[in-house]
Chains A and B, each alone.
Chain A
Amino acid sequence: MSKEKLCILQKLFYNSRMRTLDTSVIGECVYRLARRAGTALTPACRTALERAAAREEGAARFALDTLLENARTAQNERMPVCQDTGMAVVLLELGQEVHLTGAPLADAVDDGVRRAYADGYFRKSICDPLTRVNTLDNTPAHLHVELTQGERVQVTFLPKGFGSENMSRLYMLTPSQGRAGIVRSIVETVRLAGSRPCPPVFVGVGIGGAFDSCAFLAKKALTRDPGSRNPREDVASIEAEALEQINALDIGAQGFGGRVTALDVACEIAPTHIAGLPVAVNIQCHCIRCEKEVL
């Protein structure tokens, strides 16, 4: 059989078995999710803020009531909830049975971001780190691709504000520091951040992995809903204990003092090296905006 014929046969074979997806469909999805995320808190975030407001009084209560009113205004007027419409973090879970066609994936994602930030009157906050010259369209997106089984494609859009991102920390603990060291690191990060990251915060934690993957786990934890618990009991107990200690710090909403300094703590875990115990703590402000869609 000639090489050409073989190639055609292979193509037919794969086309009949593989799902084909044009990257423009992913770009369009990013557009939809970004528009929605910029103007709406997640339902779990609204619930958490309502519960927090019910527990507070004085200036903290005033701050939380203002935030709930703000969420309604943003939705009614289709305005950004917060002017920091963030760095565009896109998590793509891509089934390995999917064949992508069309423009390069990163270009398609950036196209979705570019159009959403222009059409939504969102702030363009991405710049060169040295010259500080703005890219003018909020690109490039911060794209993570995770290959998964099958044909499922899930897009998650997390607009990440930087007032809170700036307060994040990475600890390279030693194995002997163990569980207590992990909890201590989480609580210390929130304590040192104080009023600056717009508390009550949502705390994403990575446990294990390496220097880089640990930080990614922490970011990924922020795509969970506050109120959810890690399926591993020993991890869930770290989440609960850290939350309790954080809420005893009396930082409160906006740093005005109070019972609710964090809405929740979410930990994600991965195997690490025998010599280490990396812990990454990624802070998210109370303005939890995260949208997901399965394509």
Chain B
Amino acid sequence: MKKLTLPLSPADIDGLHAGDGVLLTGTIFTARDCAHRRLFELLDAGKPLPVQLDETYIYYAGPCPAPEGKACGSCGPTTSARMNAFAPRLLDLGLCGMIGKGEMSEETRAALVRNHKVYFAAIGGAGAQYAKCVKAMQLVAFPDLLSEAIYRMQVEDFPAVVAIDAQGNSVYDR
């Protein structure tokens, strides 16, 4: 397993190939369907976003509430394919990359290559393991969306697999 610190340098990205196992340390932001729709409404209205895209890795996830004494509840990834409608535009606007689970569309793949970015797959269904990787979590935007709000997470040794690399190779291709 390759240990990596976020944000990744262009050299880090060049060294990543679809199928590689990695342990990520750094800052990521959760966002699911509803939060993406809100971000798009802000973009369409020409208003500022609550996150700086070129410093942001989006984690497609909606965590469980944090029990006493824990930074976060169970927090595995959700199905990335639902965010195909949003990912290409966000990547073109500077998004650093995404973490989710499962294949994404050809449009998303092309946007990753075009912008030299990587899409990581976390292990779906490993929510309790991922909660252990979250060292701190703060609400960033859209509190009314509850678990679907945008949260900033400090993660340490967060296990993932390179799903689509910056050359467009995908772990899901056969």
Same complex for A and B? Answer: yes
A80-B64, A83-B76, A123-B63 known; A286 vs B127 contact (CB < 8 Å): no
A59-B171, A121-B67, A134-B146 known; A82 vs B125 contact (CB < 8 Å): yes
Closest-CB distance, A175 to chain B (whole angstroms): 34
Any A CB within 8 A of the CB of B112: no
Any A CB within 8 A of the CB of B43: no
Any A CB within 8 A of the CB of B121: yes
* In the complex, chain A residues whose CB is within 8 Å of the CB of B121: 254-256
Interface residues on A, range: 35 or more
Q: Please state if A70 and B172 are interface contacts (CB–CB under 8 Å).
A: no
Q: Please state if A196 and B81 are interface contacts (CB–CB under 8 Å).
A: yes
Complex Cα distance A125/B34, Å?
13
Complex Cα distance A67/B129, Å?
8
As a 0/1 sequence over residues 71 to 105 of chain B, the CB contacts with chain A under 8 angstroms (1 = contact) are: 00111101101000000000000000000011100
Complex Cα distance A69/B136, Å?
22
As a 0/1 sequence over residues 91 to 129 of chain A, the CB contacts with chain B under 8 angstroms (1 = contact) are: 000000000000000000000000000000111110000
Complex Cα distance A177/B172, Å?
32
Complex Cα distance A125/B146, Å?
10
Any A CB within 8 A of the CB of B49: no
Q: Please state if A82 and B76 are interface contacts (CB–CB under 8 Å).
A: yes
As a 0/1 sequence over residues 147 to 159 of chain B, the CB contacts with chain A under 8 angstroms (1 = contact) are: 1000000000001
Interface residues on B, range: 35 or more
Complex Cα distance A80/B123, Å?
15
Q: Please state if A79 and B127 are interface contacts (CB–CB under 8 Å).
A: yes
Q: Which residue of chain A has the shortest Cβ distance to B174 in the bound complex?
A: A250
Complex Cα distance A39/B63, Å?
15
Any A CB within 8 A of the CB of B51: no
The residue in B128, B129, B171 that gathers the most chain A C-beta atoms within 10 A of its C-beta is: B128
Q: Please state if A196 and B161 are interface contacts (CB–CB under 8 Å).
A: no
A63-B123, A79-B74 known; A73 vs B128 contact (CB < 8 Å): yes
23 A-B pairs with CB atoms under 8 Å apart are A59-B19, A59-B21, A67-B123, A70-B125, A81-B127, A81-B128, A83-B63, A83-B73, A83-B75, A85-B74, A123-B74, A124-B146, A163-B79, A194-B102, A195-B101, A195-B102, A195-B172, A196-B101, A196-B102, A197-B79, A254-B124, A257-B174, A287-B125
As a 0/1 sequence over residues 252 to 271 of chain A, the CB contacts with chain B under 8 angstroms (1 = contact) are: 00111100000000000000
Any B CB within 8 A of the CB of A84: yes
Q: Please state if A85 and B101 are interface contacts (CB–CB under 8 Å).
A: no
Complex Cα distance A285/B128, Å?
16
Any A CB within 8 A of the CB of B132: yes
Q: Which residue of chain B has the shortest Cβ distance to A253 in the bound complex?
A: B123
* In the complex, chain B residues whose CB is within 8 Å of the CB of A59: 19, 21, 161, 171
* In the complex, chain A residues whose CB is within 8 Å of the CB of B34: 132
As a 0/1 sequence over residues 58 to 87 of chain A, the CB contacts with chain B under 8 angstroms (1 = contact) are: 110011001101100110010111111100
Complex Cα distance A194/B79, Å?
11
Complex Cα distance A79/B126, Å?
11
* In the complex, chain B residues whose CB is within 8 Å of the CB of A73: 128-129, 132
Any B CB within 8 A of the CB of A198: yes
Complex Cα distance A77/B128, Å?
8
* In the complex, chain A residues whose CB is within 8 Å of the CB of B50: none
Q: Which residue of chain B has the shortest Cβ distance to A256 in the bound complex?
A: B171
As a 0/1 sequence over residues 112 to 149 of chain B, the CB contacts with chain A under 8 angstroms (1 = contact) are: 00000000010111111101100000000000001100
A66-B123, A121-B67, A124-B146 known; A83 vs B61 contact (CB < 8 Å): yes
Q: Please state if B19 and A256 are interface contacts (CB–CB under 8 Å).
A: yes
Q: Please state if B19 and A195 are interface contacts (CB–CB under 8 Å).
A: no
Q: Please state if A79 and B172 are interface contacts (CB–CB under 8 Å).
A: no
Complex Cα distance A195/B121, Å?
11
The 8 closest A-B pairs by CB, nearest first: A74-B128, A198-B124, A70-B126, A80-B74, A196-B102, A195-B102, A83-B74, A83-B127
Any B CB within 8 A of the CB of A15: no
Any B CB within 8 A of the CB of A166: yes
